[in-house]
Amino acid sequence: MLASDVMRNLYAPWRMEYIGAPPEPGCLFCRVREAPEADDRANLVVHRGLGALVMMNKFPYNNGHLMVAPRAHEGTLAKLDDDQTLAVMRLVRRSLKVLEEVMHPEGFNVGANIGREAGAGVPDHVHIHIVPRWNGDTNFLPVLAEVKVINEHLDSTWEKLSQAFAASPAERP
């Protein structure tokens, strides 16, 4: 038997709660928007803004992967009015500043997947993904083993980011 024939295990027992769990009904962002603020940690909401909210991605591409969603339930940016669009973009800008301060990334991927065919996991409620990037954060594991290593628990990241949002200057109305 060759060393390459031996299966190696990557342990992530905290992910067990996601395996086989049925999807919750309705829109993720509307459910979270309507939930009490006391549930923000469980829902991974790091900030509630005037016209939009910021939450962590439960299945992040990298540590600190955030999503900014308008309060309005629309499937595309083109259906948002100017005030709704401005609220989202102000929180995108604020999220970038918070992530720079807390996580010190070397770059970002920022974008929206509009429509299921474009990769939207929540196709009926447009949202902007903000993914912090570091030199070397992509390696052979995602390519060969379809595994991505996230080196900090979501709870720890939530604590840091929610505190940083609370301390950062608020967006204007």
Distances in Å between the Cα of 109 and the Cα atoms of 6, 15, 88, 134 are 36, 25, 16, 11
Write the burial class of residue 82 (CB in 10 Å: 0-12 exposed, 13-18 middle, 19+ buried). Answer: exposed
CA angle 163, 47, 103 (to 5 degrees): 50
The yes-or-no answer on residue 127 being catalytic is yes
- End-to-end, the C-alpha distance of the chain in Å comes to 66
Place of tokens 């949202």: 127
- Given the residues 65, 125, 127, 129, the one annotated as active site: 127
Query: Which residues does the annotation mark as catalytic?
Result: 127
